[in-house]
C-alpha cells in the first residue's frame, strides 16, 4: 500500500473488521507460507492413505492414518468449509484452498494464454459439481482413500493444467471450472462478512495506489456481490474505497440492484437442493432398496445376469473385495438414475414455487431467479446437514455420545426454513402485488420449504 494510503488510514482509523482486511493485504508472506503448509498437509492426507491397507476393526481415528484422513476430509473439512462460507464468505477460497493456491502459483510460470470463450461459459461450475457429486457416489469417495485420491487428485491435476495454460498469476480454474465454485458462490450471498466497495469514494480518489492482482478476475470497482470475491483481502483499502465490513445476512438477495443470475439459481435448485440431497440420502432410501430388489428379481427370473456382474474396475464403480463392498452394474445404473433423475425431479418440484411466486409478485425485477435465491438459507442448512452425516458416522464408530444430535438437527433445519421464509416475506414486501397476490405467492414459496423439510425429516427420523 502506498504512503499516501497509509497516511489516509492514520488520519481516519478503520474499524476492527477493516483492519483485519488490511492485515490480510499487508502480510501476504505469512499467508503464502500457510498456504504452502496446507498444500503439504493436503497432499499427504490425500496420497498416503490410498496406499495403506484396510483398517482393522479395532482401529480408531487417532491411531490409523486412513481413518484419520477420512475424518479430516469428510467429517471436518467439508462441513467446516460450508459453515465458513455461510458466515465469512469465500475466505476458504482466498486464504486456505490448496487447489486455488497451486493453480495461481503455477500460472506464474505457465503459458499465460488468454482465456478462451468456451471456458467462460457460466454453466461449467454447475456441470462440474453434478458430475463430481455423481461420480464420487459411484466410486464411494467418502469411504475409500483410493477413490478420494482419484477425485480430489484429479481435480487438483486439472487445476494445475488450467493454471499452466491460461492466465498469469490468476485463478482461472477457480473462476470458471471448480466443481465447488458454484456452491460457494450461492452460499456466500448470505454471509454477514463481505468486502464492500464504495463506488463514490473509488471515483473521487486522486492519490497514488498500488494495483491489485485479483486472482479470481473480479472487477473490484464494480463488485456488488460476495459470490465471486474470494475474500483474500488483497484489495482491502484500495483507493480508500474497499473495506471488510458487516452486513445484514439477507442484504444481497434483497438488493434488487444486484443481479440474480440464472446459473446461481439453477445451481441452488438443481445442484445443492436437488442432486446433492439425493446423494446424501440414497443409501438410506427404502425407495432405492425396493427398486433394486425388484429389478434384481426380474433380471434373475428372466435370466439376464449381465447387470448383476460385480467384476467392475474400482475407478468406475465401487469394487473392494477385501471390504466385501462390490457394486454391480445394476447398482451403478440405479445410483446414476437416482441421483440424476431424483435430483431433477426434486429440483423441478422446488422450482415450481419460485416460478409461481414470480408470476404473482407483479414486479419484473422479482424473477424466479431471485425467489430461488430466497431458498439460500435452506440450501445452506441442507448441505451442512448432509455433510455432517459423514461426521456423525465417524463419531458413532468411536462410540461418542450423540444424544444432542436430534435437537441440533431440528434447530438447524428450522433455522434454514425460517430464514428462507423471512427472505420470501421481505421480497414480497418489495413487490407491486396486492395483498391477495402476495399471500398466494408466499404460499407458493412455502411448498419448496415444506418439501425440503419433509425430505430431511424422512432421512433423520423415519428411514
pLDDT tens profile 15-64: 889 999 999 999 999 999 999 999 999 999 999 999 999 999 899 999 99
* Integer CA distances (angstroms), 7 to 18, 142, 207, 214, 240, in order: 16, 52, 11, 24, 11
State the virtual CA torsion across 428, 434, 438, 444 in degrees, nearest 10: -130
CA–CA gap between residue 152 and residue 203 (Å, rounded): 43
Contact present, 125 and 185 (Cβ < 8 Å): yes
Residue 246's φ and ψ, nearest 5 degrees, are: -90, 150
Per-residue pLDDT tens for 277-323? 999 999 999 999 999 999 999 999 999 999 999 999 999 999 999 99
Cβ count within 10 A of residue 1: 16
Q: At what angle do helices 329-337 and 286-301 cross, to 10 degrees?
A: 140
Closest CA to 376 of 122, 183, 129: 183
pLDDT at 210: 80
pLDDT at 433: 83
pLDDT at 13: 60
Cα atoms found within 13 Å of the Cα of residue 6, Cβ hemisphere only: 7
CA–CA gap between residue 330 and residue 336 (Å, rounded): 10
pLDDT at 9: 41
pLDDT at 81: 96
- What residue ranges of the chain have pLDDT lower than 70? 1-13
Contact present, 163 and 102 (Cβ < 8 Å): yes
Output the nine-digit C-alpha cell for 398: 468411536
Per-residue pLDDT tens for 252-285? 999 999 999 999 999 999 999 999 999 999 999 9
pLDDT at 4: 40
Partner residues linked to 196 by β-bridges: 243
CA–CA gap between residue 153 and residue 175 (Å, rounded): 19
Amino acid at each position: 500500500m502506498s504512503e499516501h494510503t497509509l497516511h489516509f488510514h492514520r488520519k481516519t482509523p478503520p474499524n476492527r473488521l477493516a483492519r483485519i482486511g488490511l492485515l490480510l493485504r499487508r502480510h501476504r508472506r505469512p499467508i503464502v507460507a500457510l498456504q504452502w503448509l496446507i498444500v503439504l498437509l493436503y497432499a499427504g492426507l490425500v496420497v498416503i492413505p490410498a496406499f495403506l491397507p484396510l483398517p482393522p476393526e479395532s482401529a480408531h481415528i487417532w491411531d490409523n492414518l486412513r481413518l484419520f484422513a477420512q475424518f479430516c476430509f469428510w467429517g471436518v473439512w467439508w462441513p467446516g468449509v460450508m459453515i465458513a462460507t455461510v458466515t465469512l464468505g469465500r475466505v476458504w477460497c482466498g486464504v486456505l484452498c490448496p487447489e486455488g493456491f497451486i493453480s495461481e502459483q503455477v500460472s506464474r510460470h505457465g503459458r499465460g494464454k488468454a482465456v478462451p470463450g468456451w471456458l467462460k461459459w457460466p454453466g461449467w461450475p454447475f456441470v462440474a459439481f453434478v458430475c463430481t457429486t455423481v461420480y464420487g457416489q459411484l466410486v464411494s469417495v467418502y469411504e475409500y482413500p483410493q477413490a478420494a485420491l482419484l477425485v480430489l487428485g484429479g481435480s487438483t491435476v486439472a487445476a494445475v493444467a488450467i493454471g499452466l495454460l491460461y492466465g498469469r498469476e490468476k485463478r482461472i480454474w477457480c473462476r470458471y471450472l471448480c466443481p465447488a465454485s458454484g456452491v460457494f458462490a450461492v452460499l456466500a450471498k448470505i454471509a454477514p462478512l463481505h468486502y464492500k466497495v464504495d463506488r463514490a469514494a473509488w471515483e473521487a480518489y486522486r492519490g497514488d495506489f498500488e494495483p491489485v492482482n485479483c486472482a479470481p478476475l473480479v472487477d473490484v470497482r464494480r463488485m456488488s456481490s460476495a459470490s465471486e470475491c474470494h475474500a483474500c483481502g488483497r484489495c482491502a483499502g484500495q483507493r480508500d474505497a474497499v473495506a471488510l465490513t458487516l452486513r445484514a445476512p439477507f442484504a444481497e438477495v434483497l438488493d434488487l440492484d444486484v443481479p440474480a443470475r440464472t446459473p446461481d439459481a439453477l445451481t441452488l435448485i438443481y445442484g445443492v437442493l436437488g442432486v446433492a440431497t439425493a446423494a446424501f440420502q440414497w443409501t438410506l432410501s427404502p425407495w432405492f432398496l425396493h427398486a433394486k430388489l425388484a429389478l434384481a428379481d426380474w433380471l434373475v427370473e428372466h435370466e439376464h445376469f449381465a447387470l448383476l456382474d460385480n467384476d467392475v474396475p474400482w475407478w468406475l464403480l465401487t469394487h473392494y473385495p477385501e471390504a466385501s463392498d462390490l457394486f454391480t452394474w445394476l447398482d451403478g445404473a440405479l445410483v446414476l438414475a437416482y441421483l440424476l433423475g431424483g435430483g431433477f425431479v426434486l429440483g423441478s418440484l422446488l422450482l415450481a414455487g419460485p416460478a409461481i411466486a414470480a408470476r404473482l409478485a407483479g414486479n419484473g425485477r422479482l424473477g424466479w431467479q431471485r425467489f430461488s435465491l430466497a431458498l439460500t438459507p435452506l440450501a445452506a442448512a441442507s448441505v451442512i446437514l448432509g455433510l455432517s452425516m459423514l461426521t456423525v458416522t465417524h463419531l458413532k464408530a468411536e462410540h461418542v455420545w450423540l444424544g444432542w444430535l436430534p435437537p441440533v438437527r431440528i434447530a438447524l433445519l428450522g433455522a434454514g426454513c425460517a430464514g428462507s421464509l423471512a427472505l420470501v416475506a421481505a421480497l414480497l414486501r418489495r413487490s407491486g402485488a396486492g395483498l391477495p397476490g402476495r399471500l398466494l405467492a408466499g404460499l407458493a414459496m412455502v411448498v419448496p420449504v415444506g418439501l425440503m423439510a419433509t425430505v430431511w425429516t424422512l432421512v433423520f427420523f423415519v428411514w
